[in-house]
Amino acid sequence: MKISDIIEQFIIDIIGEGEVADISRNELASYFRCAPSQINYVLQTRFTLDRGFQVESQRGGGGYIRIERLAIDKNPYLYSLLETLSEPISYTRLLQIAECLVENGIMLPEEGALLTRMTSDKALATPSNNSDSIRSNILKETIIHLIKR
């Protein structure tokens, strides 16, 4: 398992049922024998706003990093999401959003799984820009999804 995944799990365990974890970057880094900036990498790739986390920190003596799980209020959240969607969106980001939607009971787990499956790079790859072909690919992915469960 990757060190980043281990650190991610460690932080999630700290948060536990609560909603906040306070950590010391250097302590964590030395505990896991990695570069301190590795912690930043984990925070930047895993504890994103898309996944419903917020990170704040303080430098200097007595500094800290606080990771907070945000309470999601359905409609405001959805509307703010909508606003970001005039931009293209990477699969990685979509994955985090879908996870967040499911975690917060906005989607059924089945729907989240469907969503991620239908929008995988594989599902959306097309040479020509043909809606029917894209849709066909998406359906194909959907069926694989159904087969597998």
Partner DNA sequence: TAATTAAGGTCAAAGATAGTCAAAAAGGAT
Partner DNA sequence: ATCCTTTTTGACTATCTTTGACCTTAATTA
* Shortest Cβ 58–its own copies spacing (Å): 10
Task: Decide if residue 35 touches its own copies (CB under 8 A).
Answer: no
When computed from its CA atoms, the radius of gyration of the chain, rounded to whole angstroms, is 18
35 binds, among its own copies, DNA, none (CB under 5 to 8 A by kind): DNA
Task: Decide if residue 126 touches DNA (CB under 7 A).
Answer: no
Task: Decide if residue 37 touches DNA (CB under 7 A).
Answer: yes
CA atoms within 13 Å, Cβ hemisphere of 3 = 14
Task: Decide if residue 137 touches DNA (CB under 7 A).
Answer: no
Q: Which of 13, 18, 59, 62 binds its own copies (CB under 8 A)?
A: 62
In a 3-state reduction of DSSP, which class is residue 22? strand
Measured in Å, how far apart are the chain's first and last C-alpha atoms? 26
Q: Which residues does 125 contact at the CB level (< 8 Å), separation at least 6?
A: 137
Binding residues for DNA, rule: CB under 7 A, are: 2-4, 23-27, 34-41, 45, 55, 57-65, 92
